[in-house]
A and B are shown apart, each in its own frame.
Chain A
Amino acid sequence: MIEANKQIKKDLVNQGLSQGKVFSVSEYIQLLNVVLKKCQAKIIGEVSQVKISRPGHIYFSLKDKNESGLIECVIWRYNYGLCGVELKEGLEVIVFGNPDIYAPWGKFQFKAETVEVAGKGKLKEEYEKLKKKLTEQGFFSKERKRLIPSCPKKIGVITSSRGAVIHDFNSNLKKFGFEVKLIDSLVEGQQAVKDLLLSIRLFRKQDIDVLVIMRGGGSLESLLGFNNEILVREVVNFPVPVIAGIGHDKDVSLVALAADVMVSTPTAAANILNQSWERVCLNINRHSKALIYTYSQWLLKINSEIKHSFYKMSSRLEIIFRKYRKIEGKLKISLSKIKFTISEQRTFLNDNGRLIIKLFSRLLSQTNKNIAKSWNKSLEPKFLSSFKAILLCIATVEKGINYNNPGRQLRLGYCIARGGGKIIKSVKSVKLEQEIDLQVNDGMIKSKVKNINKNKKNG
């Protein structure tokens, strides 16, 4: 559609002017606008008669300070918002755009795409003012900064596709399989704002891990696009972390201050992306070495413990075997002695057995004879006499026992007196009125002590 319109306009200019065509007013204005579009320029002047229309577009006049030139200007609300400049009476600005005739009114005006404050001092003042404002709103605070994800793979890059920046960045990215998506953008001056903003918004729709915004170093004027409030807000609210690789002379750009990581060269930006990959490489090697070392140490320790146990067991077994061998030796000696003795005895018996048996039989027979002989002659009278003496002794003992039997004494009229469970043998053992038991031959008599008389002889 846009291309088709351009072609129609081109034809209009070529055909109309060469063939002496009669134009309608609208056609002629359209033709003029095609030509005027080519008169794109930067104009410096002092602002006057600032008016804001209902939709928010800004109409103002730009005039020379010391000369009489004046041009009516307009800047659309959107572009004005991007500029971050407040147009005021007397402010010296540089506008960039092209002239245009507004057909319904036939009004000639300069359509400004960008407005920037003119003069270094004023620029610096605007920069400091915005920096202060955004600082107060916490846009640059450390707490807000996000960490770059470990091992990022999908990288979004916004920079100029021409020049050394993208070349340095690409050549310093190590071969970790990065997938880099580049959006070519203007990076110079106020005109860059729109392009940068569009690029950032486009990357919002892309699947990326990190966004990198880069440009080479420059003056405050050339970095003007990076000191824009809307751009700062876009960076702060970007869904993934942002790395700013924006060179600077004295004043760090506000976009860089707002980014999660700020470096000043494309090489440094590439290194930031390489860092976590390199760290992972190092960590994996470190873990690998540490695990091998630890497990080897384990095995060495276990091996040493096994060896120690083996030596311990060996030494214990050696003691046991030594004792066993000693006992075995002794047993062997004893057995050989026994064997020798048996062998000797066997030989002796073989040699003298019959003679011994003969002698032994003779000795046994002789002994029998001697016993029989001794008994008949002398032992019999002695035995009989001893036997009679024993019988007499037994009769005497029996007689004595019968005489001293207590039952016999009771039958003769004696009695046994008991008091307190004991036999009363003395008057000292009883008290007056004490009950005592008298055992007689055929029973027991209960009595009471009425009188105690001691024998004089005993007293």
Chain B
Amino acid sequence: MANENLNDNLKRLSEISNWFDSQEEIDVEEGLKKVKQAAELIKASKKRLNEVENKFEEIKKDIEGEIGDSEINQN
């Protein structure tokens, strides 16, 4: 699964930006609410985007176990 929260945050930020763009009359109170919401989203997103060390893991495979043994038998 990709990082849904981050993508959701970005989507919601985009919606807030669009809201501001679509307003014909200024509603400062509603605008302030939206700015507060956006600030929370930006804060959460930046927290996630801060440097996080990558993790590496090697998965071992068992060739003989995975490839069917039945096919090794002749005839």
Chain A interface (Cβ within 8 Å of chain B)? Answer: 2, 53-55, 57, 74, 76-79, 102, 149-154, 161, 170, 173, 175-184, 194-195, 198-199, 201-202, 206-207, 209, 277, 280-281, 283-284, 287-288, 290-292, 294-295, 298-299, 301-302
Contact = CB atoms under 8 A, between A and B. Distances in A.
Closest 8 CB pairs of A and B: A177-B52, A149-B2, A151-B3, A78-B71, A178-B54, A287-B13, A175-B51, A294-B20
Nearest to B54: A178
18 contacts: A57-B75, A102-B74, A150-B2, A151-B6, A175-B51, A177-B53, A179-B54, A180-B54, A194-B63, A194-B67, A198-B66, A209-B1, A209-B2, A284-B10, A287-B42, A295-B31, A295-B35, A299-B28
Contact of B52 (A175, A207, A280, A287): A175
A150 B7 contact: yes
A178 B7 CA distance: 16
Interface in B4-22: 6-7, 9-10, 13-14, 16-17, 20-21
Contact of B46 (A74, A284, A294): A284
Given A53-B75, A151-B2, A177-B53, A291 B59 contact: no
Contacts of B53: 175, 177
A109 B71 CA distance: 17
B57 interface: yes
B54 A57 contact: no
Given A2-B64, A284-B46, A151 B7 contact: yes
A182 B60 CA distance: 9
Contacts of B52: 175-177
A65 to B, nearest CB: 29
A57 B31 contact: no
A176 B13 CA distance: 20
Contacts of A152: 2-3
B28 A298 contact: yes
Contacts of A54: 75
A284 B13 contact: yes
A85 B69 CA distance: 22
Contacts, number: 130
A66 to B, nearest CB: 32
Contact of B28 (A150, A176, A183, A302): A302
A77 B68 CA distance: 11
B28 A284 contact: no
B14 A287 contact: yes
Category for how many chain B residues contact A: 35 or more
A219 to B, nearest CB: 26
Nearest to A178: B54
A291 B55 contact: no
Given A74-B74, A284-B45, A302-B26, A295 B20 contact: yes
Nearest to A299: B28
A47 B53 CA distance: 54
Given A198-B66, A298-B28, A182 B58 contact: yes
A209 B10 CA distance: 19
B15 to A, nearest CB: 10
B11 to A, nearest CB: 10
Interface string B38-55: 100010011001011111
A2 B55 CA distance: 33
A288 B42 contact: yes
Contacts of A294: 17, 20-21
Contacts of B20: 290-291, 294-295
Contact of A181 (B26, B51, B59): B59
A184 B53 CA distance: 22
B68 A78 contact: yes
Contact of B61 (A178, A199, A295): A199
Contact of A301 (B26, B35, B42, B51): B26
Contact of A173 (B54, B59, B72): B54
A173 B61 CA distance: 25
Which of A74, A76, A79, A277 lies at the interface centre, i.e. has the most chain B CB atoms within 10 A of its CB?
Answer: A76
B72 A179 contact: no
A54 B74 CA distance: 11
Given A53-B75, A298-B26, A280 B10 contact: yes
B61 to A, nearest CB: 5
A170 B56 contact: yes
B54 A281 contact: no
A182 B32 CA distance: 48
B41 to A, nearest CB: 8
Contact of A153 (B1, B46, B72): B1
A254 B59 CA distance: 26
Given A151-B7, A175-B53, A202 B59 contact: yes
Given A150-B3, A202-B59, 10 more contacts: A53-B75, A151-B2, A152-B2, A152-B3, A284-B13, A288-B42, A291-B38, A294-B20, A294-B21, A298-B26
